[in-house]
Structure 1
Amino acid sequence: MSEPIQRIIETNGIRLNIAEHGDGPLVLLCHGFPESWYSWRHQLGALAAAGFRAVAPDMRGYGKSDRPEAIDQYTLFHLVGDMVGLLDAIEAPTSVIVGHDWGAVVAWYAALLRPDRFHAVIGLSVPFRPRGNARPTSLMPRTADSQFYQLYFQQPGVAEAELERDPRATLRAMLYAASGDASAGSTTAGAGISMVPHGRGLLQGVEAPPNLPHWLSERDLDFYTGEFRRTGFAGGLNWYRNIDRNWELMAPFAGARIKVPALYIAGDRDLVIAFPGMDQLLANLRNFVPQIRDTLVLPGCGHWTQQERPDKVSAAMIEFLRSLPNRN
């Protein structure tokens, strides 16, 4: 089958690069950190072969898409707005929206805020988390010796300096450490990168891969390395720097529920599953997403869901999509 076609579109005051493949009902694929449209390389072809039009953008701050300098240009309202504008740019009235990691947060909130445009949602790794009663960073783990990695990301320039020192080594370590292949036999993948020792970096003490896992080739790593060597990591890190701002902005939607059909997929060795309170959230997810059809847990899979288990993820997505009323 042919390769995805890439082009630049105008949306929400910026330019986004999109990769698209196939014809039929639209499926919009939103990637996370630190990735790009390329993280959906397997699903683009599978969805096209199944009769869908798959579109995967480089999200704001990534790849060939624009990277605004101001940190406050990366709120959830900007990110969801980009996806609404994307639909307008390609003249699509509605879409199913799919997201992984931070892209899952965008997908869940797109379905919450604009169910008229996003009539179903699939979240990978990160479930829908309703707005809590306190600023998220105030609840993140910290000790006398270390802090949660998302707190480490808050200070502009600090994480950039570490991650950009050697982008290939950074990506090789991060992609392996958060995968289901790391620390075989441990209960949770990625434990080594959840907490960052004070005065040290994210990658200090992270398990180095002896060889790349089967799902990540040298060619794949070359692609990611080329993108982040050119763009740096600031764009993606700025998403984390809006966590508290998002909490403030979402106050009008506290208690709102996602009312479109939904599917959640995660690996049983994903570090996200071990986040504080996640067990209770997953057990009560139907209270916040009443039309969730299924929660699919993939044995031995870590954080990079659609890359580590491409066939299972694609098959689950297609089964869910075919169960929906046909919309063009």
Structure 2
Amino acid sequence: MVEHRMIETNGIRLHIAEQGSGPLVVLLHGFPESWRSWQHQFGPLADAGFRVVAPDQRGYGSSDHPEDVDAYTILHLVGDVVGLVRALGEETAYVVGHDWGAPVAWHTALLRPDLVRGVAGLSVPPPFRGTRPPLAAMEERYGGRFYWNYFNRPGVADAEFGGDTRTALRKFVYWASGDAPGAGEGRQPLVDPERGWLAAMPEPDTMPDWFTEDDVDALTESFAGGFTGALNWYRNLDRNWELTAAWQGAVVTPPALYVYGDRDIVPAFPGTPELIARLPELMPNLRSRPLALPGCGHWTQQERPEEVNTALIEFLTSLA
């Protein structure tokens, strides 16, 4: 049974969900999600002998939402994971992340390999720091229409997503899923600066079976405090590039697993297909070739829970 409580760490309070006993596995959600994006992983991982903990990360759900944009750098996010592991009475953990949670997991393994027994990323591949600030690079490439640049405009996406939160989330989840028309065709997430992003997304008559209206309700409730905290993660992309200069050329050394959907928009980002193809040579401890899930869109562990659970349990038990 999943239990809930608050943990104080790194100067903030985090809401966590937890189940099971054994080696600690920390599950990190992405945007726009919550701990509940891992609901299909708790039981299987706990039954496999692991202590499973999924926080609402800072700026999300019932956890604290610091007001300062600068409070959402990658160093703060990694610090939250490190502090959480310590607050739970553990010295080491397996760290698994999806979407934005994946860069946090990868960077935790990069910056604190002593703490990470193994790392897995879903959707977003391991970080290899580019030669230019990412927001500036995408601004130039797409004339400011890439969604990172749109999210970087103070208050704009906050208002669009917060205007009708339930409709926004229904549209966004469906649009990025493997069930949406055009998924997997190499499209880029470009935003009309006048109309916004949601206007171009169809509202589905019914949600996919893997994401029910009850799931929509729960996710909507988790954003009762608005989207600004979550969007502040994107507003630190260039700052993160500056802060991680010392790790230019460094690679993730703990045992690693990477899983993605072949209809996911993220692995089609510029340069990402080439990166994924080279991961076996770039990652010294990648335990298997990148696992592509046929027909799966962006919401990896929710769209394909059985395949993800099988891959995670096989990976984790091989290291336990």
Same fold per superposition (TM over 0.5): yes
CA distance change for structure 1 residues 146 and 240 in 2, over 3 Å: closer, same or farther? Answer: closer
Q: Which of 267, 272, 293 is the equivalent residue of 2:266?
A: 272
> Residue 97 of structure 2 contacts residue 120 of structure 2 at CA under 8 Å; is this kept in 1?
yes
Residue 263 of structure 1 corresponds to: 257
> Match of 2:129, SS?
coil
1:188 aligns to 2:185 (yes or no): yes
- Aligned pairs for 1:140-289 (under 5 A) are 140=138, 147-183=145-181, 186-188=183-185, 191=187, 194-228=189-223, 230-289=224-283
CA distance in 2, matches of 1:124, 1:144: 26
Matched, 1:8 2:6: yes
1:301 lines up with 2:300 in the alignment: no
Aligned position for 2:21: 23
- Determine helix, strand or coil for the equivalent of 1:119: strand
Letter in 2 for 1:41: Q
Runs of 4+ in 1 over 4 A off after TM superposition: 141-146
1:44 corresponds in structure 2 to 42
Q: Report 1:132-143 matches (<5 A).
A: 132-140=130-138
List runs of 5+ in structure 2 lacking aligned partners: none
Please give the TM-score of this superposition, normalised by the length of structure 2: 0.97
Contact 2:138 2:144 in 1 (8 A): no
Instruction: Indicate yes or no: 2:129 matched with 1:131.
Output: yes
- Measured after TM superposition, the shift of residue 210 of structure 1 is 2.0
- 5 Å-filtered alignment, 1:28-107, equals 28-107=26-105
AA matched with 1:279: P
> In the superposition, relative to structure 1, how do residues 47 and 199 fare at CA in structure 2: closer, same or farther (>3 Å)?
same
Q: Tell me by how many angstroms 1:251 deviates.
A: 0.4
The Cα shift of 1:196 comes to 0.3
Amino acid at match of 1:216: F
Distance 2:44 2:282 in 1: 30
Gaps spanning 5+ residues in structure 1: where? Answer: none
Q: Aligned partners of 2:141 and 2:134: how far apart in 1?
A: 16
Given residue 251 of structure 1, which amino acid in structure 2 is its aligned partner? A
- Work out the number of aligned pairs and report it: 319
TM-score (norm 1): 0.94
Letter in 1 for 2:86: D
What percent of counterpart residues are identical? 55
CA offsets 1:128-160 (integer angstroms, 9 cap, x no match): 121111111122166787600110000110101
Give the CA deviation at 1:198: 2.2
Distance 2:139 2:36 in 1: 32
Equivalent residue of 1:140, what SS? helix
Does the 8 Å contact 1:180/1:270 carry over to 2? yes
Residues 120, 145 of structure 1: alpha-carbon distance in 2 compared, 3 angstrom cutoff: closer
Contact 2:19 2:43 (8 Å CA) reproduced = yes
Match of 2:192, as an amino acid? Answer: P
Cα distance, 1:39–1:315 mapped onto 2, change above 3 Å: same
Superposition RMSD on alpha carbons, in Å?
Answer: 1.5
2-structure distance, mates of 1:300, 1:86: 35
CA distance in 2, matches of 1:206, 1:225: 18
Q: Is the 8 A contact 2:178 2:184 kept in 1?
A: no
Return the alpha-carbon distance in structure 2 between the equivalents of residues 145 and 71 of structure 1. 24
Secondary structure, counterpart of 2:233 in structure 1: helix
Matches of 1:163 and 1:88 in 2, distance apart?
35
